[in-house]
Structure 1
């Protein structure tokens, strides 16, 4: 329980401190409110005193004007008397309005205004009378005010009486003296009452001032007491926090230090002392620059430490006492110290081992574990650098592809341990043959790369002949066996006109293969003619344009209708792709598909086409509702990649309505080269409702044999047979055979490249069910098909062979 209580103390202290702050704030707010209230009462008292002054002066002037009227009989004196008397009578009217139930504040405000009271005092007069007329001296003042009602009204009646009498004739003798005496009596009576009223108001004002002093004094005393208690608690809490901070500072497992604004160390903990292998006493007399390696201290233009940049979290190199480096993860905070400037509190965590692990991981990622040479990834990176260098600076290098001869025989006869020893020995031999600036790497298995900087093909050939000769004189002793090493070498020159790294490595591999074909243990230089080199460079440029077009959304979808024999209203088309270059020129697939497939971009293009197609059809539900079938091509590279099947499956799962209207076209060559992957792809998409068409059917030697193993739905006859069937009997027989095979297997057969009416009629006679080509309809933008109404395929010209004649 003691431990639990101790654990609760910080929270309890915080709550206690909060309550004291709240109490102090409440008292301050209360004092302000009371002060405002008392000031308002004082203002109300002043308003009453000023109002009484107006009342008394007007009453006296009214009596004097009536006396003059009595003497002179002039109507002007009577008017003056009535005007002056209206002031006290208006105040009387206001008081009576406030004493009604409920009070008529509007009438009271208008009457007080007639009584010459300031507009800003009206609310004070009304509120104070309504809520304070029965309190203390204000009660006496209210009573005295009521006593003035009868004399005021009598003065008003005397004025009316004098007006009637004087109208009949002058008043003289005893009657005039009687009026004079009565007016003087009333005037004296009202003045006495007014003096008593004023005295009551003065007493009330004095009471308000006294109350103000007492309340103010008590509030100041209370606030002072709470402030003292609060300051005491804050001081205790600060001392407690300081004690806990120091305990944490000195007992922390990470290095901590406190630095002054000039960079001198003020305090350090034991953890930092251990990390830097220096005593704490020694450290507190040092400067930060003595602890950091060169270049780690950030200085401003005046040579002072630039703390805003220095305090950015990061990793710095620290110097230990023995001069060794320690990598420390550094983070710091600047704390203002008033006139003393700033002090810096920083934390240092030792991450030296992390750096060692990172270096080790980086080494393993870029080096071969068996030979210690750089691996294929690092080879490609260095080749990219070398290629960029010759493009910028000129010159040539030489890349050599080396392949051990008969290495598999060594593994099979002597064993893999001997093969590993041979690889290590060969690697050491190559490392001993290179100059500064050259490098050696292992591509994989028994293949190596040797880079000769600033060497032409001829110079590289001389070096490699020497390597081969010395290699043939050496042997590896493995048990009782002596293993001889030989290798075949391909050399390619790295120049400014080299297309890219992939081409470079492919050329070196081709040259090495030529060396093996020529009898092994020899050097062969890659000598591709200029036209072939230009063609490769053009393909690389086309590939770059396709890549940029995909990234910039400049690939366009077109579609070509496929006519269904017997049902011209059936909507069936194949999706085709076009590319718009940076200048806005449109390019057909024949200008870039070959480069895309040769350089392994087929899957990227297929992903792009499918994504665009699905996005387009999703916003055309009416078109999808009347769509029969939409064919889309899939390359051999996509078929062989499991991630592409996952991509397609995800699209189909999210668009199940579209799946039933989709037909994937797979070329026969893609199926033959990747039969297992093709079967997996076909099964997966057919399970989701899609159909499969075998494109370019008949172009390969094994078409009919593989057809038995694939659950296709449509066969698309290779267009070359359709094009040549009128002049070539073999082509005509092939088309007829494929049509018959489709009928037998209950597969729909479609003919491509149908360019004339004669061809179309012949194909229909052979039993072909679908026709595609310029004779049917030219390709057009996909949106044109999806945004126009359904129309039959040129019924007027094709009516007979479509079954409508």
Structure 2
């Protein structure tokens, strides 16, 4: 009995060991299968992640191309910012790949790059691991090789953006360079998209291998995992189906149109993107044939009247028929897939490039037409005038050029908004086109200025036509009844005959005549008949402008300064920088001798740049003076404020001289701010962001001072000296100064009075609470070099303290 018990007890451990072994074996098998299944799932997920990432890459690259094309065409800064933002996605992927290719790999930088490329955070590890360990796998290696080929294209896109920006920033963009950039960009886009398709195809081939492996493992899992647990098999199958769904979703939701065709051209599979491009439902496409989608002549047939797939699948742009009968340009490419024992199938990609063709036509149209009104633009006007001059010089005759400028257009723009202003311009353009004779033409010069060409008309005949046009404006359909002024225009007329020098003279003469019509009271016609005195004055003004140009080039522009007394704080060193010009004969000229010519002929920004350069160089040589300096005011012209490149120039100066920024106060005249409100606000915000202050100069001279004051974040008001000079004898001037002072105090702005010429005016200003006094009663202007001498500013408090 005892022996049987021993044998039974010996069998138990044996059975236990067998069960344990089977359990361990089965568990190991289950674990191994689960691990293998998980690995396959991860491969499937990684494949899907790469396809989705490629979709982000391609979409962003196209987006960047379209935005960059808009920027090159229109010069809109927001389009450039949009292009650069879109370009960050492919650049992020590029950065990630380079981080993984270096030795050792920089995982943190790669992770950041993939995130920048728009990839889901949950897919980042899959992308990194698959690249590291599967990078030499056949199709995946092909995909990476194609990917590397896009690096040069992305760099070229960045270079095109920089070149386009530089071309726009210099103030006179070159049309030839713009056209060349468009051609280069379109060629680059085609190259990048071809590489993107090759990359996508390689990924799809990789995904096909993974899919086959997935199906094999799924079959084995169903067979073997049933030995472990039915529930485990169901779980694995569920996970595999889920991953398969994600893969198919990524395929069918791709932004590029994809078709699978049989050898006869029948559509077997189609994704939603191609259905949207062609305007069909996806199920409608299934069963259709390729010839039904192509315009006649686009299908390439062989001798047997079958589709010649070798030539048909060559990359190119084909014309497709949409479901609504419309024409669509599609970039087409594809590949013929051959399988043993099966009929070949075709995999094709279609991208809608109709916008590119429309953009090319639009660029051609915009080169000669105004986009708002549809009229010819200044470039085309000048071309037609050149032809008219050649005609009168060759065949004689006389024509008339009329320059029309809408009166009070700014009131419509500011009072009713830019949409109403645009509507008025369109209506006025339509009215002009309907009012002229056959053979005449109308163009838009820019803004609210139009050109009208009357063929074969002398000035007196043109006057009659134009007076009728001006008189009938009151009955035009675009008038408004909301209290705004009735639409009228000032018109200048100049004859075109064989004696006209050139188109530039012709445009200038017409502009001068229009200006004379405005000066005479607006809503009238003025004929250009410039007398000798006016011609001599124009020549003298041009001569003064030449003197200013040579003075800038020869460094004969001098900086002066006039102290601004701070009431209650005589030790605060505050002055305004003024400019003088020394002639070649040594005589000193004040601003009144040359500033009118500078402002009339658009040299304001050049002079402002020169003055700022002189000021910064001088202050850099006087560190002790800068340390003592409280505030230095410097004037900026309206022309500079209206030019974004000037703000960039100022910001660059301030970035390179940060210690001077908080010592500077830029003065802009109130009229300049009102006439360029948006540009003025941008300038004010730009310089204040770098520590500078801003003053509104000649405040009170504008028509709507207080209304515009809230819209400009200025720090200082400088009361127009016209009110200050006579305030001791003129109650109206004194009341105006009081009102401006109170407004400034309410808005927490310091108030400075100009033209303080007597002690009595100074005392009255102090009584009103004016904080700063500037004028001959305080101190006369002196050379800036003299003011910055240490001996002078150490004595300054006692010299100016008499008004405190």
Q: TM-score, structure 1 length as denominator?
A: 0.42
Which protein shows a greater Rg?
A: 1
